[in-house]
Chain A
Amino acid sequence: MTVAGRRAIDVLVWALLLTMPWWIPYLGGYTALGSRVVVMALAAMSLNFLLGFTGVLSFGQAAYFGLGAYGAGLTIKYLVPSTPLGMLVGVLAGTLASAIIGALIVRLRGVYFAMATIAFGQVFYFIAYRWNAVTGGDDGLSGWRRVPIDLGVTKVDILGNDLAFYFMVLVCFAVAVAVMAALLRSPFGRSLVAIRENERRAGFLGIPVDFHIWLSFVLSGLFASLAGTLYALLNNFADPHDLHWSQSGEFVIMAVLGGMRSFWGPLLGAGIFVLLEDYVSTRTENWMSFIGLFFVLVVLFFPRGLLGLIRRRAAR
Chain B
Amino acid sequence: MTQLVLYNVFNGLIIGAFYALMALGLSLILNLSGVINFAHGGFLAIGAYLAYALMPWVGFWGALLLAPVLAGLIGVAVERVLIRPLYGRDPLYSLLLTFGLAYIIEDGTRYIWGPQTLPFSVPAWLQTPLSSAFFFLTGYRLFMVLLVVAAVTGLFLILTRTRLGMRIRAGAQDLETVSVLGVNVRILRSLNFAIGIYLAGLAGVLAAGMLGLQPTIGSALIMPSFVAIIVGGLGSLPGTLLGGLLIGVASGLTGVFFPSASEAVIYAVMALVLLFRPRGLLGEEGRFL
Q: Does B270 reach chain A (CB closer than 8 Å)? A: yes
Distance in angstroms from B4 CB to nearest chain A CB is 21
Q: Does B107 reach chain A (CB closer than 8 Å)? A: yes
Interface of chain A, main secondary structure: helix
**Which stretch of A125-133, A201-209, A235-243 is in the interface?**
A125-133
Q: Does B212 reach chain A (CB closer than 8 Å)? A: no
Which of B34, B223, B260, B278 is within 8 Å of A122, CB to CB? B223
- A111 touching B34 in the complex, CB below 8 Å, given contacts A57-B91, A59-B95: yes
Distance in angstroms from A57 CB to nearest chain B CB is 5
Q: Does B60 reach chain A (CB closer than 8 Å)? A: no
Q: Does B202 reach chain A (CB closer than 8 Å)? A: no
| Residues of B in contact with A, size category | 35 or more
In the complex, what distance in Å separates the CA atom of A157 from the CA atom of B99? 40
Distance in angstroms from B71 CB to nearest chain A CB is 18
In the complex, what distance in Å separates the CA atom of A131 from the CA atom of B258? 12
In the complex, what distance in Å separates the CA atom of A256 from the CA atom of B289? 26
Question: Which residues of A sit under 8 angstroms from B90, Cβ to Cβ?
Answer: 57
Question: Which residues of B sit under 8 angstroms from A130, Cβ to Cβ?
Answer: 260-261, 263-264
**Which stretch of A8-16, A160-168, A292-300 is in the interface?**
A292-300
Q: Does A123 reach chain B (CB closer than 8 Å)? A: yes
In the complex, what distance in Å separates the CA atom of A213 from the CA atom of B96? 22
Q: Are A288 and B107 in contact (CB under 8 A)?
A: yes
Q: Are B264 and A123 in contact (CB under 8 A)?
A: yes
Instruction: Considering the complex, give the chain A residue whose CB is closest to the CB of B103.
Output: A292
Q: Are B101 and A299 in contact (CB under 8 A)?
A: no
| Residues of A in contact with B, size category | 35 or more
Q: Are B99 and A295 in contact (CB under 8 A)?
A: yes
Q: Are B263 and A126 in contact (CB under 8 A)?
A: yes
Q: Are A295 and B97 in contact (CB under 8 A)?
A: yes
In the complex, what distance in Å separates the CA atom of A294 from the CA atom of B265? 34
In the complex, what distance in Å separates the CA atom of A16 from the CA atom of B95? 33
In the complex, what distance in Å separates the CA atom of A84 from the CA atom of B92? 36
Q: Are A295 and B103 in contact (CB under 8 A)?
A: yes
A-B contact pairs, 21 of them (CB 8 A): A104-B271, A107-B289, A108-B289, A110-B288, A111-B30, A111-B34, A111-B91, A111-B288, A112-B230, A122-B223, A123-B264, A130-B261, A130-B264, A249-B99, A288-B106, A289-B108, A291-B100, A291-B103, A292-B103, A293-B104, A299-B96
B interface residues with partner A (beta carbon < 8 Å): 30, 34, 36, 38, 82, 85-86, 89-93, 95-97, 99-104, 106-108, 111, 223, 226-227, 229-230, 234, 260-261, 263-264, 267, 270-271, 274-275, 278, 288-289
A interface residues with partner B (beta carbon < 8 Å): 51, 57, 59, 104-105, 107-112, 114-116, 118-120, 122-123, 126-127, 129-131, 245-246, 249, 252-253, 256, 286, 288-289, 291-296, 298-300, 303
With A105-B274, A110-B91, A119-B267 given, name 20 new contacts (CB 8 A): A57-B92, A104-B274, A111-B30, A111-B234, A114-B36, A115-B36, A115-B230, A116-B274, A119-B226, A120-B270, A122-B267, A123-B264, A126-B267, A127-B264, A130-B260, A288-B104, A289-B108, A293-B104, A295-B96, A296-B101
